[in-house]
Structure 1
Amino acid sequence: MNVDKSDKTPMYQYIMNDIKHKIETGELRPHDPLPTQIDLAKEYNTSEITSRRALSDLVQEGYVYRIRGKGSFIQEKTAAAEAKPISTLFFAHLNLELNNFSHPFFSEMFDGIREVCGENGVAFHLWDMGTDYQLPEDPNAGIILLTTTAADSFDIERLTAWRQEERRMVTVHFYYPHLGIPYVIVDNLTGGYLATQHLISLGHRRIGIIVTGKSIMEINQEFSLRLQGYRLALTQHQIPFDPQLVAFMDEEQESVKLGAEGFEKLMELEDPPTAIFATSDYKAIGAMNAARAAGMRVPQDISIMGYDDMKLGEIAYPSLSTVNQNTRKVGERAAEILLFELAGAGQQLIKDEIVPTLIPRASTGPAPQ
């Protein structure tokens, strides 16, 4: 493009003004892609630094949004909308202990949120709602809402009220479809299926599972779905479901101790399993410790499968087969929904389920002959 610029307008500002003009005249429409900063630099015969500055400032002014790995796009402008563009995202939780956030489920999710916020000039902060369920006062803030607590209880009337106030929010990890609140979750059913299918593929037919909760009627959403995935994999391979192979552990917090106790419960059976799917890495490592104490070799005598892909699983001995929940993608999608997709959704419920990834390692092997 031959640029005829007779005034002293900085080139980055010239690029911005030209793109704004194209938006105003309809040449560029909402959600149309923009050229990359490399291509913009070539088009306007300038440097990549200049084109990067132009794109960054267009994002700051609300004309453009970015999606990681996809590019820059024209922001949707609705004349009727009174709400200002979101400039801050809060991850709101209810009295969770800060050490919970060191778990990769949260740390990787935060990385995903930060990435999207950083690319779009949006601040990101952690927010404790406290016992009074207090949200940030800024009505234009975006809220990524974690509704689980240690007891997995949440005052649903608060959610209803926030929905009626049209707070800009999306829930993660747990969801409430009847309220129409956008949500992003991990597909735990598929995760449970992948873990069990992996063990079946190694020849195991007698597979135990250790689940946190009092009973099949008293477990939370995530563990219930992992158990459903376990049952689905068995069904598809014509393996009868045996309730004795489900070890329910009546505790609220994940721990190595739970895994050890679950392992011992399963090994007391007259026909014990040759493989165990522990529905968290903590429990899986506890099961491996208990197996070692019982004189059993992992995986030669018993295969053990975890869930979460914690860093310590890589250096456990043997290294732990597990399921990565891809929560970085959960964070990315939650931020993208708040920043780019709410305005054009109307009454349609926005939802996304992130598929986990199987991570096979040394703790699982062929069924003993």
Structure 2
Amino acid sequence: MDMDKLDKTPMYQYIMNDIKRKIAVGELKPHDSLPTQIELAKAYNTSEITSRRALSDLVQEGFVYRIRGKGSFVQENPASAGSQSIRVIYLAHRNYEVNLFNHPFFTDMFEGIKEVCKENGIDFYLWDMGDDYELPDDPQAGIILLTSKDDFDLTRLTSWQEENRHIITVHFYYPHLGIPYVIVDNLTGGYLATQHLLSLGHRRIGVILTGGSIVDLNQEFSLRLQGYRLALSQHQIPFDSDLIAVMNGNLERADMGDEGFRKLMELSDPPTAVFATSDYKAIGALNAARDLGLKVPDDISIMGYDDVKISEYIYPRLSTVNQNTRKLGERAAEILLDLKANNNRLVKDEIVPTLILRDSTAAVSLKPTVK
């Protein structure tokens, strides 16, 4: 080691001072990789707890940034570190119902954000902006913004940009404003669900969506429908609007799936498989199928979306799509903490969902469907 340790200097502080000195004299340059906490502990003959604290405090002071799975790196402009570093991240929403946050889309996302914040020694909180669109009174705070479907005032986004607030959006996005965003790739999710059913030999696949009509869908359901249509087109199967059941509602409910499933089964040529674009609707479809005397998956296959916890335990266990929102939360926090994300350019990422195959889908049955 190049420095003489002062007896009264805590070891974590000594490591920090040594790394700061190396940055100052140019031994460590911007974006250079730092040793791992294990390597630092060995180099300074100390514990991993001590080296971990040294790295976390260097991140908090703005001298170092971390990239998950890759390591710790020297900041671009550490000379101005400290006053400009993000010390807290808020997930800001506007009047979201508290019970909505129990959905795995949110709970998994929160876990991802929390993990990155913990690694970087910063705090994480939820923040309700309320009717006044009030953000935390901290211009250096990182904001992961969760906008609403219908009534969010987009002029607020522009004003926050002018204030140089550190903002990234999740779930919904606005590329024309140049605001960084991370979203789940709903088009791919819809494609994966449909392609799975096609691979089982199904050619008439019904879809249960949420919206006002087939042309009045929100961003996520519209993209899932696009994925459905893309999968059909790749198999040269014409799109049939009769196979689309659109249910109106503000929240996903089982009764929407029940009603949508019954409408599809009333067709003169009903589907052999149904893709319900949420697990709650899929559970309603399962209930309706049982009531109509149909066996799942022998008579008809049912596919869900979201991978809510109960989908693993209902009978039959529900095939579905996991949105990987823990990774969405991780990436949103990482982008906020990465200086490159604050250079007035559009930074974006799309998280690819994962197909979860269970018992509610099977090869198409040659038996006639019971009406």
Instruction: Write the deviation string for residues 215-273 of structure 1: whole angstroms up to 9, x where unpaired.
Output: 22210000000000000000001111111001111222110000000000100100000
Aligned runs of 1:1-369 on 2, under 5 Å?
A: 5=4, 7-8=6-7, 9-77=9-77, 84-149=84-149, 152-342=150-340, 345-369=342-366
Q: Which amino acid aligns with 2:148?
A: T
Is the 8 Å Cα contact of residues 61 and 82 (structure 2) preserved in structure 1? no
The CA RMSD over aligned residues, in Å, is 1.8
Task: Tell me how far apart the structure 2 counterparts of residues 34 and 113 of structure 1 sit (CA, whole Å).
Answer: 23
Distance change in 2, residues 1:24/1:101 (3 Å): same
Give the counterpart letter for 1:368 in structure 2.
S
Q: How many residues align?
A: 365
Distance 1:153 1:83 in 2: 35
Tell me if structure 2 keeps the 8 A contact 1:3–1:44: no
Q: Take 2:164 and 2:12, find their aligned partners in 1: how far apart are those partners?
A: 37
Distance in structure 2 (CA, Å) of the matches to 1:55 and 1:156: 38
Query: In percent, how many aligned pairs have the same letter?
Result: 70
CA distance in 1, matches of 2:245, 2:140: 46
Length-normalised TM-score, structure 1: 0.94
The two structures have a TM-score, normalised by structure 2, of 0.94
What CA distance in whole angstroms lies between the structure 2 residues aligned with 1:340 and 1:23? 18
Kindly tell me: are residues 79 and 17 of structure 1, through their superposed partners in 2, closer, same or farther at Cα, counting changes over 3 Å? closer
Task: Go from structure 1 to structure 2 and tell me whether the alpha carbon gap of 1:4 and 1:83 turns closer, same or farther (over 3 Å shift).
Answer: closer
**Counterpart amino acid of residue 346 in structure 1:** N
2:91–2:143 Cα contact (<8 Å) kept? yes
CA distance in 1, matches of 2:138, 2:5: 43
2:355 counterpart letter in structure 1: L
Any gaps of 5 or more consecutive residues in structure 2? 367-371
| AA at the equivalent of 2:151 | S
Secondary structure (helix, strand or coil) at the match of 1:211 reads strand
**Cα deviation per residue 1:73-122 (whole Å; 9 max; x = unaligned)?**
22232667996211111111111110000000000000000001111111
**Using a 3 Å threshold, how does the CA distance of structure 1 residues 21 and 4 change in structure 2: closer, same or farther?**
closer
Give the corresponding residue for 2:369.
Answer: none
Cα separation, partners in 2 of 1:216 and 1:45, compared to 1, 3 Å: same
Cα separation, 1, equivalents of 2:134 and 2:10: 45
The answer for unaligned runs of 5 or more in structure 1 is: none
Amino acid at match of 1:148: S
* Deviation (angstroms), 1:338: 1.0
Deviations 1:133-174 (A, max 9, x none): 11111111111111115xx32111111111122111111000
Question: How many angstroms does 1:6 deviate by?
Answer: 6.0
- For 2:85 and 2:260, the matched residues in 1 are separated by 50
One-letter identity of the residue aligned with 1:259: G
Is the Cα contact below 8 Å between 1:281 and 1:322 reproduced in 2?
yes
SS at match of 2:222: helix
Are the counterparts in 2 of residues 249 and 258 from structure 1 also a CA contact under 8 Å?
yes
Contact 2:76 2:339 in 1 (8 A): no
Measure, in 2, the Cα distance between the counterparts of 1:81 and 1:182. 22
Distance in 2 (CA, whole Å) between partners of 1:262 and 1:28 is 61
Which consecutive segments of 4 or more residues in structure 1 shift more than 4 A? Answer: 78-83
Go from structure 1 to structure 2 and tell me whether the alpha carbon gap of 1:60 and 1:341 turns closer, same or farther (over 3 Å shift). Answer: closer
Seen in structure 2, the aligned counterparts of structure 1 residues 83 and 109 have a Cα distance that, compared at 3 Å, is same
1:261-298 Cα deviation digits (max 9, x unpaired): 00001001000000000000000000000000001000
SS at match of 1:29: coil
- Alpha-carbon distance in structure 2 between the residues aligned to 1:63 and 1:86: 12
CA shift in 2, pair 1:166/1:365, >3 Å: same
For the 8 Å contact 1:111–1:331, the answer to whether it is kept is: yes
SS at match of 2:338: helix
In the aligned structure 1, how far is the partner of 2:83 from the partner of 2:348?
22
- Letter aligned with residue 301 of structure 1: D
